[in-house]
Amino acid sequence: MKILFTGGGTGGHFYPIIAVAEQIKAVALERKLVMPQLYYMSTDPYDPRVLFEHGIKFVPVAAGKHRQYKSILNFLDWFKTAWGALTAITKMFVIYPDVVFGKGGFASFPALFAARVLGIPVIIHDSDSIPGRVNVWAGKFAQKVALSYPEAVKYFKAEKTAVTGNPIRGEILNPIKTGAFEFLDLDPDIPMIFVVGGSLGSVKINDTLLSILPEVLKKYQVIHQVGKANLEDCRARVQTILAGNELSKRYRQFDFLGDTALRMTAGAASLAVSRAGSTIFEFANWGLPAIIIPIPESVSHDQMTNAYTYARGGGAIVIEESNLSPSVLLSEINRLMENESLRADMALAAKKYSNPAAGRNTKTA
């Protein structure tokens, strides 16, 4: 059997695909089936090491973005997408998978278009409360549609739709509490905050945190995932901000956290500060209270709705980017960190969104 995965170029699309691939291989082993051949078609491999470790062959294809704002690049990228779709038909014909699994995003369009043309069955999954354009389109001909949020059901035909939750990789499913502070070289007697702006990093979150970093470190420790593109800039700024400050030992900066470091961070953290992507479901699985700062609707149509949908359950609070300022972020961090009872309630509420079996779930959650 051949299975081809496709998705956009972010961790929110890529890592749930890996979680599904893990479960497919697990089912094959449990049922003593021939191990399927797995492929990933997208604009870039995102994490080549992970693809290699899971035996997934990367198939490159071009695709253009469709931006929420007016840009000449939207026009030019249509040609890129058209070329990518034609190329995808050729490459998919050579592979001819038994099924295509689409995770959404602009980079998934060529593969899904090729599957439609070639008559290959399609299954899609969407992590957002408002599905992306590509998945809404693909949902019209997909055999099955899996969703993370019940609110997204109305965008698809109910008879082929299931709320399965968001797939999470087995490598990060369970936090590691024992020895976590020692692993991270932090003081176990000082509360720790995990700040992450999505897999690519958020300049806005990074800037706001760094502007209050000396104040934050007076009471707390920080693990800060800044994003690969932002690492050098953030590192240079922190060296200036914390120069000669003995509290600098309370701050750890990473471009991207590996699986073990992420599990340790999850086990040690008392609070997370994050965007509103699929990381929300990792926080839910870990029972980690969060401050969610969604990308504005002018840039991303889904994160604002994701944030408020999740926050209504009680596992997080929302600060809109238009309201985000150093004083507001510091005030909310202090308010939550100084109220252990509130954070305990938020942790329980977050767990209600947890679905560890989402990678193989076939029934409505």
Each residue's pLDDT tens digit, 293-350: 999 877 766 889 999 999 999 999 999 999 999 999 999 999 999 999 999 999 999 9
Specify the domain boundaries for CATH 3.40.50.2000 within the chain. 2-163, 172-351
Model confidence at 355, pLDDT cuts 50, 70, 90, reads confident
Q: Give the predicted TM-score (pTM) of the model.
A: 0.88
Q: CB neighbours of 316 closer than 8 A, spacing ≥ 6?
A: 280, 283, 289, 290, 291, 292, 307, 310, 346, 350
Average pLDDT over residues 55-81: 77
What backbone torsions phi and psi does residue 6 show, to the nearest 5 degrees? -150, 145
Chosen CATH of 172-351 out of 3.40.50.920, 3.40.50.2000, 3.40.50.1820, 3.30.930.10? 3.40.50.2000
Q: Which residue has the higher pLDDT, 122 or 106?
A: 122
Please name the residues in contact with 287: beta carbons below 8 A apart, sequence gap of 6 or more.
347, 348, 350, 351, 354
Q: Cβ distance 345 to 315 under 8 Å?
A: no
Which CATH superfamily hosts domain 2-163? Glycogen Phosphorylase B; (3.40.50.2000)
Over residues 9-29, mean pLDDT: 92
Give the pLDDT score at 263: 96
Alpha-carbon gap, residue 215 to 224, rounded angstroms = 15
Supply 316's token pair: 């997080």
Tens digit of each residue's pLDDT (9 = 90 or more) over 232-271:
999 999 999 999 999 999 999 999 899 999 999 999 999 9
DSSP string, 292-327: E-PPPTTT-SSHHHHHHHHHHTTSEEE--GGG--HH
Question: What span, in angstroms and rounded, lies between the C-alpha atoms of 109 and 352?
Answer: 33
- Is the pLDDT at 360 greater than 80, yes or no? no
- Cβ-count burial of 143 within 10 angstroms (0-12 exposed, 13-18 middle, 19+ buried)? exposed
Query: Looking at residue 197, what is its pLDDT?
Result: 72
- Quick one: pLDDT band at residue 209, thresholds 50, 70, 90? very high
Average pLDDT of 106-111?
A: 95
Higher pLDDT, 216 or 361: 216
- Rounded to the nearest integer, the mean pLDDT of the chain is 92
N residues, the chain: 365
In the predicted model, what is the mean pLDDT of residues 275-279?
90
Highest mean pLDDT among 52-61, 73-82, 352-361: 52-61
- Going by pLDDT thresholds of 50, 70 and 90, the confidence category of residue 353 is confident
For residue 74, pLDDT beyond 80: no
Residue 365 has what pLDDT? 43
Question: For residues 278 and 296, what is the distance between their CA atoms, to the nearest angstrom?
Answer: 16
List % helix, strand, coil for the chain (3-state, nearest 5): 45, 15, 35
Determine which of 4-8, 82-86, 110-114, 226-230 has the lowest per-residue pLDDT on average.
226-230
Give Cβ neighbours of residue 86 (< 8 Å, ≥ 6 apart): none
Residue 363: predicted pLDDT: 52
